[in-house]
Structure 1
């Protein structure tokens, strides 16, 4: 109803707008088939039909170039079928495109206009401002903030950190279809930010991070480069408000643009004047095999001048020599000799010159310190694998450190950067090695004395042996309790992120600036040491992008802490159940979150070394990173299965009401299908924006599962959808996801699909069977409608289930 109301408001508030350089108002020139030309005559705004398509789009193209070259499209996802489109401006200062009275596209500016002025600038930027206002920063709206596939001089590629606006460039699907394709250019806001060319979630090419002179992977693209003899200015800006790159030309003589192509490339075109009268490709990326993202796998580097492009870094060898020799480099390289983290003086760094530095996904950045302090920090952190200056100008400045495998390295003949990679002493140069061994011997003797003193002191404490035993059971880095306490400002309420049955979660900042989330086990919780150790040991062995990363733990007497990577966007329930915040999650993002959860579950159930049942999957246990990618967390209730084991029973039923399946609540029987049931509930919650627990249909007294089922059997599934995401262009996909959710929450576990089938279903690669009635389908009498053969009616009731069988988290 909110969308409908908005459309009605628009229909009644359309008024002519003021055009700065044209006497024709917007509604007239569009209905008359005219166009709006920029003041200097370089660009033109109007309707067009791309290629052989008959569909109509509102766009901007070059005015004085013979072949129509479109640089921006307004309604690229919602074309007009005929010539009845009208563009006007409403009383709030927003441009509105309609067809036969129906809304097609609008600018959705939240700034209020007094006397709205619409102008097409000679830069190709369509802007809305207040009449008489010459402040370019005060535009109410501008097309440069919402690019299509083309980057023009003065346009920004990057993010506005104040508003969350992400300026990314998405390819056309084809020359006949300007709707968003799969390939796009985007800035990833890692600690050390980086620009990528992506295909969906797959990285195709990366610029390399900005090093003060250029992008590390594009050494030929320096500031003040010359294009056809004219100065080309490349600019990179990074501050608390914005991070972006842009380019400029000193002279207007050259007409140039950069386009993101659906074929998986970025091409810079230059208009050739004279007899040619055509667009010439000046450069493209990727331009050679070595530009292909991750071509040589982890810890391998690419040399385009070698007959075999991929080489292993010094101190590394092919993980699979057989595949490596057959030019399958995907598995990359592994160390010849593992690092010995506890003996830091037996390790050092090897300097590699002329490199495109590795992918910056897992990095730490401090622009205030120099190279030597950076080396010390990296050496003292067991997980730091490499470091270098973040700014290579002059003598260099700033510090960036890499953690984990080094991905997508490339060797340049000229240019490139120095990178210092951690190595065992045996891989260092001879003189350095000798000094290192001497130092290590001295350190070992000192270490023995220090350890002896340490253990004498520890033995004097009553429970020292118990603490040591508990730590030995956990194969994970441990921290001192006071160290983590200081990081959380002594567990200040100002640092509190959330609370559950397990305990309280706090935000912490380590001395090196790394943000972490610290879970403090509640001393009175029934979920005590066993659950704590379960979570630690499980997560320490799991590595997947859709699972939360555990960084370490701390144990001191009855204090037990878990230290996780920090998730800036909190949890799924923080967004999806909030009437304001869930508006930030459109259908595309919700679908991506569903897919991320599914991939994480598939890894737990099938692809990890262990077969794991989570048992407490719910919206609050799905965390969201800075890019709103979903990560499964909280493994305190998880159980490990043998690979040939399918189900188990327990006398202690634990979980969260609304997410657990009937067979678990009634008989304590759980399996991978228990997680599937919980996953189905989450799908329906994501689609509807409503909680299963507490939802009640006023007409039929149905819970969310019952409501979804009733709408399904009455052929009204779209009525379940949150009005903030309903979109006719994605209706088929939304209905398919409702269908999948209902298949997951079916009464009988054997009827529910497994996660491998669900992934195929989500990708549209599998036919869907008809679902049957959900478990815990609440009818008019508020009873739980489940087969009586599944329960003992003398000892089970809804109240007993919710009050005595479950432990809320």
Structure 2
């Protein structure tokens, strides 16, 4: 009986085992033949081992996708997904060739969930699947050894969110567009999102980023050298771009100049396109370009018939001969007098306007192009189609000029149509400006000569103004206004405690009143201060060259033996921290004013990083170094630790870490590496402090023992962002703006410098309405609930915000 039971049990086990699906043995393939299949765990590897394909999932999700990724790069970087819209629901998914030679994915009882639909295979006897070292998954004739053959099917014809070298984006000028990037829904869902990166074939083809039917950013039209809206000066050192334009097709692709370079362009779920390059040194993907790059990249930001110039203020201006109207954009001052009374005004170094309402001809010269435009009363502008070899071809615009801007590096010339009378007026106005400029220069020289004589006489009599730093045989001596020490002593009532405004790491600040009634702020450096002569000279030199409404103005200095004084314009409302961290005074700053203060600080930093004569890194940006004038306009102060850079310099290292804990980014606090992105991190901390009314170093949430950055991040990912906002009333309209500012603040405090935006992007994001990129974890974020974490323990909270120095970078 027992033997019969054993036999029956064995038969049941045998039946169950035979009925179970065959488990993958994790095979590695170099090609897939018609009699083979792949399951979860199996991989298909390219010949040189550069790319790998197989089934994968996201985290703990049961959804299975078949995709392609870089084989030797960690973490896994997905570049293509076959069944992006139809994930398999369990681990029984299988990839194979069907009887018709098409590549399919089967999902158990669901049947075929994805099919390559390879219509050209019928004429081929034997088909094989291979993964090329370009990342292209192809179906090819198994009897052919040609790797460059006309494939029966290829994944490059069906791109996802990633643009790889060798891939082509094509638009068929006859049957319509195809082959373009589409975003993922989110980083954990590769299904088609709302955004696209493609060639728009209306008019002369141009590169655009869109969300649905709405254009977000425009790369512009191809001019034989580059897309007119893209800055490629750096990219052309490592990439070769090519475009083919025929009567039937427009195609765009790029190749790497060095085959060992791993690079990719990715369209994110918000419509931003970023190019990444793998760094073997840092073992990370470094962002080397992105669009939008600045405010002017936003499509039609300034309205019709206008020009956007990111280097001017305001950045939007009407084209000459046009004036602004109340509906947005600009209209003509003088109507055109077609066909005999018009001419053209040239604009140089421009991103050409939207070409969706344009006409082009490759054979016409620029002169013929002008003649053709004049004959057509609807034509409003013309330019060369191709700028190579002196220029060729004709590009005409009709109707309003849309989305034109000053190009960041290599732009193009365009001719805007105006009535002849308007052209004469512009010419006369320019001549008058030249005359006034010359007259102004002459008057300035005369005035300067008189001033020098007056100063010379005054110096002899009073010794009030003298040379600050004497450097023999040097041409870069600096002149600064030197106040007599006794004058400042009297102004501050002998540095009375009643006159003291505050105290920092380098000394005290006093209020003073000069004999003429002018109010001043005097920074008296402590005799034991770590800010020595070099830091003192540095601050004087730096402040003497900087002029911006969001920077505090240096009036002069005073030196007497060991005493070093800096004299600034007086800020009656003192520093920002006196308001936002005080229970009573914080109520005086409503949300409109708080957001204006954040915007002002951003513009001040943008000036330091981009628009000043030198590139300045502040290195000690914090709320106590933001002063408020009588109108509550913020002004960045305290430049003792600032560093200036020349030319293309952007970062440096130091063994002397100086700054304030809580505002310093990780790479600076730990390694002594600083850049403009260091100030961006500090700015992000300031933003979150202004909005929350809490100090980063002095705050620990009771549950997770995180600092303010960690607390803000946790609220963000849990969808409870509004809980961060200070207890000041707000309505629904302002709440959306506050959340946007929090979003920007989190982008600024990301762990890696390359993930933080630059200040031009920050200013744009604060003001814009476009979707923002998703932030990553902030720096110094421990996460989790580990109350013993040395990074996040409440024991580490401190309210000491004095500037520090002489710390050795580890």
TM-score bracket, normalised by the shorter chain, equals 0.3 to 0.5
- Give the TM-score taking structure 1 as reference length: 0.47
- Give the TM-score taking structure 2 as reference length: 0.47
Select the structure of larger CA radius of gyration: 2
